[in-house]
Structure formats: C-alpha cells, structure tokens
Homo-oligomer: A and B are copies of this chain.
C-alpha cells in the first residue's frame, strides 16, 4: 500500500510568488502526513483563465524556474513523488500546458498536454510527445492532464505500458450533473481505472476564477474503479492505494482485462460509411 495525496488548491491568478509558496506548503503538508505521492492541480503556478496568449506567455516559466526547483527540493526532503501542472515557456518560445513529475532524484520528466480543451487552443501549443511512463520508488507512474483523461485510447496505452498509478493534474470546469452522480470527468476516470486495473489520482481545483467556476472534483480512484477518497472542500485528500493489484490484470480466474483483448478486430470495425468529418 502506498499513500497518495491530492491537493485541491485555488491558485492566485497571475501571482507566481504566491503560488510558489502555496504549492510548497501543500507539498510539505503531504510530506508531513506520510504521503508517498502528491498531485497538484493543472496550471497551479499561474491560474487558468488567460485573457490572451500574451498573458499566458508572460506567466509561463522555464524548467529551471525557482518553483520547480523548490518542488524538487521538497521531493528530495520527503522522498516524495510530485506531479503538478505549470504554465511552461518552452525552449522554442511557445507556451505549453505542462505537468512536471519529480522525485528524490529531481525533475524526472515534463509532459505537455496532448488534448487542449476549447480556448486552451488559442493560448497554448499542444504537446507532441506521449506521456512519460516512469519507474519510481513506489511503482510505475504516468502523468496526463485534465481533458487527456477523456481519451480512452490514451489511458489504455499508458496502462498497457505498465502504469500502476496515473497522476492527473486537472482544472475541471463545473458542468451540470444529475443528483448523486460523480463529476463526469471522475466517472470517466473510474471507468478507465476499472477496465485497466490502474489507480488514478486526479487533483482538481476549487472556487471561481474570472467567472469560471470549478468542480472541486479531486478524486483518488483505486484499481477496482471505486473512489477511495474524494472531496468538495479545499485542501488535502489522502488514500491508501494498493499498487501491487495493478500488476495483476485478472478480473477472475478465467478473465483478464488485458489478456482478453482482441486488438486485430477493433481495427477491423467497419468505417466505410462513417459520417463526414470523422
């Protein structure tokens, strides 16, 4: 069992220094609580609702920024795996919606969001490399960002690559849902977890920013697809998760989530008459 923490935070829009302090404190709180892994929301360094590409570019940071340096120091201090979203200034001068993954060895990888949501397309360049799948002291982890979770080919691919725990910094805009239901993105994550026997930790944000209301949907989902911990309040959410279970894809003695796949036949589903635009 490992201890997974998600920090449901609201960044101060445009205030890098406040968000540096906010995230360092959040990481320390997770480390002090004995967490092995902590996930921070998407774009936690900057905020989300940019008025222009220029505004995002001005708030973007390089991989050598003090914020990531501080995250690395905390990762080393607590021997903690950290995944958190940041607004990245690429070496190519473009702005990316990125996530850093760090552990005691420092910055392990930076992932650039593959699926940009709606107006993000006007602000960010989209990533051109698949998500990193990394071996860490707690097991094999991968990181994706928010809307990426809604592409089941991607969650399947990272699971097939051996990912035991998928880390998902998110900013889920609040949308209507029927009473008693999980946020739709969490429901999609639950299904992705269950069909892949892979744990998923989504760190969402709360509150309102420039008129955009957030879901506060932070959810830590076990290998069985059920929510181990969630919260609609600010602050830390923690669950103990069995990552060994993710190594065994058997659903029963005679059924195997991976072994029963028929990939050659999925590719053969008739597309001849697919509607225009697909």
Residues of A whose CB lies within 8 Å of any CB of B are 114-119, 121, 128-131, 133, 135, 140, 147, 150-158, 160-162, 177-178, 180-181, 184, 187-188, 190-192, 194-195, 225-227, 247, 249, 251-255, 257-263, 265-271, 273-275, 277-278
Q: How far is A37 from B191 in the complex, measured between Cα atoms in Å? A: 27
Contact B151 A195 (CB under 8 A): yes
Which residue of B has the minimal Cβ distance to A253? Answer: B118
> CB-CB < 8 A to A128: which residues of B?
265
Contact A265 B129 (CB under 8 A): yes
Q: How far is A39 from B193 in the complex, measured between Cα atoms in Å? A: 28
Q: How far is A178 from B262 in the complex, measured between Cα atoms in Å? A: 30
Q: How far is A49 from B86 in the complex, measured between Cα atoms in Å? A: 53
Query: How many whole Å from A189's CB to the nearest CB in chain B?
Result: 8
**Given A156-B153, A162-B275, A194-B188: A115 in contact with B260 (beta carbons within 8 A):** yes
Contact A162 B114 (CB under 8 A): no
**Given A118-B252, A151-B195, A153-B153: A187 in contact with B262 (beta carbons within 8 A):** no
**Given A118-B252, A152-B152: A266 in contact with B147 (beta carbons within 8 A):** no
Contact B118 A255 (CB under 8 A): yes
Q: How far is A274 from B114 in the complex, measured between Cα atoms in Å? A: 22
> CB-CB < 8 A to A247: which residues of B?
275
Contact A161 B261 (CB under 8 A): no
Contact B225 A266 (CB under 8 A): no
Which residue of B has the minimal Cβ distance to A258? Answer: B278
Q: How far is A278 from B251 in the complex, measured between Cα atoms in Å? A: 15
Contact A270 B161 (CB under 8 A): yes
Contact B162 A257 (CB under 8 A): no
Choose from B135, B255, B266, B277 the contact partner of A130 (Cβ within 8 Å): B266
Q: List the 4 shortest-distance A-B pairs measured between CB atoms, nearest first.
A: A191-B191, A152-B152, A118-B254, A157-B269
Which residue of B has the minimal Cβ distance to A189? Answer: B191
Contact B278 A153 (CB under 8 A): no
Choose from B116, B158, B177, B270 the contact partner of A133 (Cβ within 8 Å): B270
Q: How far is A249 from B180 in the complex, measured between Cα atoms in Å? A: 26
Contact B269 A226 (CB under 8 A): no
**Given A161-B269, A271-B161, A274-B162: A195 in contact with B150 (beta carbons within 8 A):** yes
Query: How many whole Å from A7's CB to the nearest CB in chain B?
Result: 24
Contact B194 A184 (CB under 8 A): yes
